[in-house]
């Protein structure tokens, strides 16, 4: 759906003022805004802006809010869907609870949880850092100490926190403290953020059981840390698996191939151990 002229100008103003907008993006947006204010043809200027942004858009290298603007401008409806942040809230203190997990790129952490029965909402965001209102560029640049994570609101009548922890282990590589899969860096380290003693006890017990299982040859390095402020990521990142299905499937496939290989190694190691014991 094409924005009208006034909406487009407002969007340009907001993006220019947005501290998360990169300088080269801001210069392009400012140039178009000035031309429009001076009476330039609207369609021609938008076409020029689309052409200037296209090379970076095709490489998925625009900042999130500029990417949203580009998708809206070009009619990419699926990627332009806005996440309703107001609905991500606990509205029933008796039967709802929340959990926070970090396990690499948050794009691949949403669908597995969101499609479970009893899940109210899953939000991608940043946590564990020391800067308020961090942007994607800041977190990616390792300037804030945050990790990419998901916050899950769930109905305790249908699903329990222990169930979420169990699924979390299946989605991540708990032996890799320097990132997850193809995602490298401290912003991708695996962490279970616990909000209270109850969650901490469940997470620690589950982690110990995993370590005792002998499934992994290397130590379990996933950390369990107190939950801190969870900052929502930009709209572009919310429910990425729905907005950018092709790219999501490619990334998810690579993760699953690694996990499948890892599980096969574990199975072979277990079988070898059993065989050795029998021979002894």
Pairing of strands 223-226, 191-194: parallel
Q: Which of 8-22, 106-120, 150-164, 244-258 has the lowest mean pLDDT?
A: 244-258
Phi, psi torsion values for 147, nearest 5 degrees: -120, 155
Given the residues 57, 105, 149, 203, select the one marked as catalytic.
105
Pairing of strands 230-232, 119-127: antiparallel
83 exposed, middle or buried (CB, 10 Å; 0-12, 13-18, 19+)?
A: buried
Does residue 76 carry a pLDDT above 80?
no
Looking at residue 271, what is its pLDDT?
60
pLDDT higher at 252 or 272 = 252
Contact of 165 with 113, CB cutoff 8 Å: no
pLDDT higher at 183 or 125 = 125
Does residue 1 carry a pLDDT above 60?
no
Which class would CATH give 85-240? alpha beta
Domain boundaries, the chain: 5-74, 85-240
Residues 6 or more apart in contact with residue 130 via CB below 8 angstroms? 144, 145
For the whole prediction, is pTM greater than 0.95? no
Q: Is 105 a catalytic residue?
A: yes
């Amino acid at each position: 759906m094409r924005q009208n002229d006034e909406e487009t100008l407002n969007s340009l103003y907001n993006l220019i003022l947005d501290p998360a907008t990169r300088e080269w993006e801001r210069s392009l947006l400012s140039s178009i805004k000035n031309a429009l204010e001076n009476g330039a043809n609207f369609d021609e200027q938008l076409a020029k802006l689309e052409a200037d942004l296209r090379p970076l858009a095709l490489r998925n290298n625009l900042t999130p809010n500029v990417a949203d603007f580009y998708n809206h401008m070009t009619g990419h409806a699926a990627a332009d869907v806005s996440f309703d942040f107001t609905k991500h809230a606990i509205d029933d203190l008796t039967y709802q609870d929340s959990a926070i997990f970090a396990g690499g790129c948050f794009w691949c952490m949403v669908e597995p949880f969101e499609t479970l029965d009893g899940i109210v909402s899953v939000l991608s965001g940043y946590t564990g850092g020391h800067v308020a209102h961090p942007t994607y560029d800041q977190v990616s640049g390792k300037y804030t100490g945050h990790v990419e994570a998901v916050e899950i609101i769930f109905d305790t009548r249908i699903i329990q926190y222990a169930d979420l922890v169990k699924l979390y282990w299946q989605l991540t590589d708990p032996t890799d403290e320097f990132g997850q899969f193809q995602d490298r860096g401290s912003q991708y380290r695996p962490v279970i953020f616990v909000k209270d003693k109850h969650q901490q006890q469940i997470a620690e017990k589950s982690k110990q059981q995993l370590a005792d299982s002998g499934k992994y040859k290397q130590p379990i390095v996933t950390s369990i840390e107190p939950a801190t402020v969870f900052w929502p990521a930009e709209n572009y990142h919310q429910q990425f698996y729905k907005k950018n299905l092709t790219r999501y499937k490619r990334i998810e496939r690579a993760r699953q191939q690694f996990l499948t290989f890892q599980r096969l190694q574990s199975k072979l190691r277990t079988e070898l151990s059993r065989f050795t014991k029998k021979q002894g």
